[in-house]
Amino acid sequence: MDLADLAARVERKTRIAVSSRDMERVLAALFASEDMWRIAELARIPLLALCAGLRALAAAGWVRWDTGLIRLTEDGERACALLGVAPAPTLDCPRCGGRGVETSLLRDVALAFHRVAADRPDAAQEFDQGHVTEETTIARVAQMWRHGDLAGKDVLVVGDDDLVSVAAALTGLPQRVTVLDVDPRITSFIGKVAKRESLRIEILSHDLRAPLPPSLARAFDAFACDPTESLPGFLLFAGRGLSALRGPGGAGYLGLTHAEASLSKWHAIQRQLVTWGAVITDLRDGFHAYVNWPYVETMRGWEHLPVRRVPGRREPWYRSALVRVELVTEAGVDLGVVEGDIFLDDEASTT
């Protein structure tokens, strides 16, 4: 039994692209933790592939979890030594958590943001929501500022359970902040906050399966979104965002996970972004940390977990990369009306 066999077995089972390198990432994570959610965070492969991978490793006698802790067996440790699989150290900078960005200039904004976000709506399964920590939203806004995509700019937020529009408006820097969301709880919450805090935020209720209202096409300098991660769903968010940009030099911020997207899916996404005329200017893995959503036990991945423990709300394991793209040509996006479910593919686990 080698890693390529295991990977092929998992791939057949899950219909998710899994390489022997992915299996190696699972084993390296097992050196670092015995906890289901920490392993999920460290392994950086789709959660459903991880679950199937752990079962395949258990069938090979390399892993066991009868105590509730997920552990390499002696056979597993021997196999790792033979295969040259070594623990990977966590080398995130302790000050910025590996994000690289300093947020102290935004301290007052962060304080105000914590205050207004305290009574935000809970994440809703219906819209595949799951919001990032408040600290993450501030870091994302700092990243936009640093890149010149905030001050004096027209910014569109495409789907905003992360409340990026609120944090961006609280800085007082953008010229225009517009939000699109399909969830009336989100649009009405942002509306109330904007009124109370005297923030100029333009709020539109919009289902992204329909093209953008003509008034928003080619009207913005930057957009931010945290797409659902089925391949068509992700590309729908990204494509709508790009078509809202004025043209070359316009920038987009996207979140992309490993938990629901294999590197093959990342590859398909990047191919499409490049074809649409966008270049990736930054890709910071693990930048966004998520607050655990209240529907963990009814999400698709739950039944697949070898160890079923509900993670604490503020015990982040689900992370996503921050991807910044910039148009180098006019956006060549040609997306009409899209029908049906945009949330589901083989790799989705949190819908």
Contacting residues toward a copy of itself, per CB under 8 A: 17, 19-22, 24-25, 28, 84-96, 98-103, 105, 142-143, 145-148, 151-153, 173, 175, 248-250, 263-264, 266-267, 270-271, 274, 277-285, 326, 328
CB of 328 to a copy of itself, least distance (A): 5
Q: Minimum distance between the CB of residue 281 and a copy of itself, rounded to whole angstroms?
A: 7
Taking a C-beta distance cutoff of 8 angstroms, is the pair 321, 41 a contact?
Answer: no
C-alpha distances in Å from residue 146, one per residue of 99, 100, 101, 139, 319:
13, 11, 9, 10, 22
State the amino acid at position 149 in one-letter form: D
Gap between the Cα atoms of 136 and 171, Å rounded: 15
Q: Is residue 102 classed as helix, strand or coil in its secondary structure?
A: coil
User: Looking at beta carbons only, is 22 or 35 nearer to a copy of itself?
Assistant: 22
Shortest Å distance, C-beta 151 to a copy of itself: 4
The candidate with the shortest Cα–Cα distance to 141, out of 172, 95, 115, is 172
Smallest distance, Å, CB 208 to a copy of itself? 25
Question: In the complex with a copy of itself, which residue's Cβ is closer, 13 or 147?
Answer: 147
Q: What is the amino acid identity at position 61?
A: G
Where are the strands (E) in 152-240, listed by range?
154-158, 176-181, 202-205, 222-225
193 vs 261, beta carbon nearer a copy of itself: 261
Our CB check for a copy of itself shows the closer of 205 and 329 to be: 329
Length of the chain: 351
DSSP annotation of 294? T
Residue with smaller CB distance to a copy of itself, 262 or 292: 262
Shortest CB 205 distance to a copy of itself, Å: 28
